[in-house]
Structure 1
């Protein structure tokens, strides 16, 4: 229940910031909140690819980067030592 509430809080923050929550961005954000810890971009890509036939790993990486910069990722995903933006080889 906590992760779902946190996800709704993250979506509300994006809305307040006037960040367009496209179907892909929404799916990426939901997948991140459903995975424990910090899922790799390639894992997110493989999970989402069946629902988005033209999806590219760079699109997933870009969405994650936006979420990281805006501070809407789950706390356990935002470790400064191995944060999303510090990892150059995610796919």
Structure 2
């Protein structure tokens, strides 16, 4: 699995830019790993979802806020399809 904090943070920014319904995540500064399950990762069975990688950093948002912690996760479903979840602190989860 080649993804790292920079790539999943960039994916969260990209996904946020294409969402018309909320404040945009413009950048994740200084992302660092908080959960790393990439080595030997296998997709879950059944209807489960597993976190492959989770990172945290400081978010810059379209409303001018640039000091909010942001948490970004790469989750994988049983079909092996990955998706990005990100949330601010405090905040609502955004799944893309």
Normalised by the size of structure 1, how large is the TM-score? 0.33
Q: Which has the higher contact order (CA 8 A, sep 6+)?
A: 1
Structure with greater strand share of residues: 2
Select the structure of larger CA radius of gyration: 2
